[in-house]
Structure 1
Amino acid sequence: MTARITQKPAAPKSAASKPEGRGVQSIETGARLLTALVDEGEPMALKDLAQIAGLAPAQAHAYLVSYRKTDLVEQDPETGRYRLGRFALDLGIASMRTTDPMRLASETAVALSERTALHVALVVWGTFGPTVVEVQESGSQLNMNTRPGTVYSLTGTSSGRVFTAFLPEATIKEALAREKRERADSGRVGTYRFMSRKEIDQIRSAGWAMAENPPVPGITAYAAPVFDHAGQMVMTVTIIGHDHYLRDRAEREFIPALLEATRQLSGELGYSAGT
């Protein structure tokens, strides 16, 4: 995976300036049934499915008959409940094959940086641990030692703490042992510190982390995990800024924006909370 640092691109033309054209309302209406099946994640009775989709049962049934003919939906012969069919599975697999995770992540970083006026780093699990692969700069005069290729401490940085909380325990134990053996001039950002089970549980519960003693004085960072279709953590999205700008508005504004961005990105990568 190629590491890169990006500057803000020119603002794209507003989507509102380009008319979408006339759609097919019946397709949009029927899609509500498919959305309900995806969101619920289990076979559903006609009346329940119709209620969630906001349709009359007779109207929903007509759509479901057509969906059954195309294998988008199938019906259990014993219970009569509906679930997504083979063609829906084929569509999902095709989508995953053509999805570029880093392109989606880059778009997320750009949008989040523009929304918050903060630097945004994408951090993946590399050979030596949490490794920065992209930094989207906000345009502010922020002096920091985060660049593509930077390796973070597992316990001394916000991104590392998220990996420590969400990666398999065996993976983390091995990486921590390696980090503790490193020389002080290894170049890793952040200093090892003990993390209690309580801290790890708190990060898992909250869905984000910060470092109590940031590697760079005056600079604060918050990180949150991104998951793929298999429920595996694939990266963190990390927002970085000056203390005086970030901390006062963190819980009210910036952390909610970060969590919204990572949830959306995880969803685009196929993750479901029930995975």
Structure 2
Amino acid sequence: MGEEVTSKPRAPRGVQSIETGGAILMALAQAGGPLKLRDLAEALGMAAAQLHPYLVSFRNINMVEQTETGQYQLGPFALRLGLTRLRNQNAYRETIRRVPDLAEELGLMVAISVWGLHGPTIVYIEEAAARIHSNVAVGGTFMLTATATGKVFTAFLPRSTTDPLVQAELSGAQPPLYAIPAISEAAFRADVRDAGRLGYSITRDAPIPGVSAIAAPVFDHTGTIQLAVTIIGPTNYIDLSKDGATLSRLLVFTKALSSDLGHIEDA
């Protein structure tokens, strides 16, 4: 008897013209402004004559409109679709739905923080199999000046919002939870600038010796930081390298979340 041949399930067949139309709309969305027919065709690798009928159909349903100079841009119906999507999105809900897979994949604790009255406030924690001994708990707060999460919020919130807490920590008016060395404001500001430029912050053995963290922001459609996602683990276990798997996976996670919330990077 011959060997049984197991056929792979076929992928569902789509409608090619709809997929092409989706690529056209995506190109218009990414353009950031009106495009001439020839420029849009060039961006898509299509002939202008092939592209034009799609644009006519999209104009008929107000998905695309033409400016007074004849250029093409997304139309009112595209706006309505976008607003409907945004109304149905919730940063916190979307994050906690996805975080368990991230924690399981990395084998590390993941904390979600939002900005509260007393600074970055922990609203959700997904524990890893290898638990760490720390005071990270729901309802707790992260220091601005000594944690990766605090530096991310300081980098992406207005200085007028964060400065009162920063100065309280630097002056000792806000006593730290841990016995940590004095923090230099110059070094802190340099870390904040790096966080703003790179889009993440890393702390090693701080503020708790033996525990390190990587934090990255999640933005909404206005470019406002909604929350921070922080990976926390034992220093001898967590990969803190800039080209390492932990940072790479975290940034893929936060950028996908931001994109789903309507954020356009570098817009």
Which of the numbers 167, 171, 179 marks the counterpart of 2:161? Answer: 171
- Contact persistence 1:120–1:238 (CA under 8 A): yes
| 1:141, distance to aligned residue in structure 2 (A) | 3.0
Aligned position for 1:252:
244
Aligned position for 1:12:
none
Distance of 2:175 and 2:240 partners within structure 1: 36
Return closer, same or farther for 1:226/1:37 CA change in 2, 3 Å cut-off.
same
Question: Secondary structure of the residue that 1:170 maps to in structure 2?
Answer: helix
Instruction: Kindly provide the amino acid, as one letter, of the partner of residue 122 in structure 1.
Output: I
Aligned residues: 256
Are 1:205 and 2:197 matched, yes or no? yes
Which of the numbers 102, 107, 111 marks the counterpart of 2:101? Answer: 111
Are 1:241 and 2:230 matched, yes or no? no
Distance of 1:103 and 1:254 partners within structure 2: 23
Displaced runs of 4+ in structure 1, greater than 4 A? 17-21, 187-192
- Contact persistence 2:204–2:213 (CA under 8 A): no
Are 1:86 and 2:76 matched, yes or no? yes
Q: Deviations over 1:178-223 (max 9, x none)?
A: 4442345xx5897872332333222211211123551222111010
Return closer, same or farther for 1:219/1:59 CA change in 2, 3 Å cut-off.
same
- Contact persistence 1:154–1:192 (CA under 8 A): no
- Contact persistence 2:204–2:212 (CA under 8 A): no
Which range moves more in the overlay, 189-198 or 259-268?
189-198
* TM-score normalised per structure 2: 0.87
Which of the numbers 14, 32, 48 marks the counterpart of 1:41? Answer: 32
- Contact persistence 2:178–2:207 (CA under 8 A): no
- Contact persistence 2:63–2:74 (CA under 8 A): yes
Distance of 1:208 and 1:266 partners within structure 2: 14
Distance of 1:66 and 1:130 partners within structure 2: 48
Distance of 2:126 and 2:9 partners within structure 1: 27
* TM-score normalised per structure 1: 0.85
Alignment of 1:116-131 (within 5 A): 116-131=106-121
- Structure number with greater Rg is 2
Instruction: Kindly provide the amino acid, as one letter, of the partner of residue 59 in structure 1.
Output: Q
Distance of 2:159 and 2:16 partners within structure 1: 49
Are 1:230 and 2:222 matched, yes or no? yes
Two-structure CA RMSD over aligned residues (Å): 2.4
Question: Secondary structure of the residue that 2:244 maps to in structure 1?
Answer: helix
- Contact persistence 2:229–2:254 (CA under 8 A): yes
- Contact persistence 1:156–1:192 (CA under 8 A): no
Alignment of 1:1-275 (within 5 A): 21-78=12-69, 80-179=70-169, 180-183=172-175, 193-196=183-186, 197-247=189-239, 251-275=243-267
Identity value in percent:
38
- Contact persistence 1:162–1:208 (CA under 8 A): yes
Distance of 2:184 and 2:159 partners within structure 1: 15
Distance of 1:258 and 1:143 partners within structure 2: 22
Q: Deviations over 1:44-100 (max 9, x none)?
A: 11122122223221121110000001111001132x211000110111111111112
Gaps in structure 1 of 5+ consecutive residues: 1-16
Return closer, same or farther for 1:145/1:206 CA change in 2, 3 Å cut-off.
same
- Contact persistence 1:220–1:247 (CA under 8 A): no
| 1:111, distance to aligned residue in structure 2 (A) | 2.9
Distance of 1:201 and 1:120 partners within structure 2: 24
Distance of 1:188 and 1:92 partners within structure 2: 45
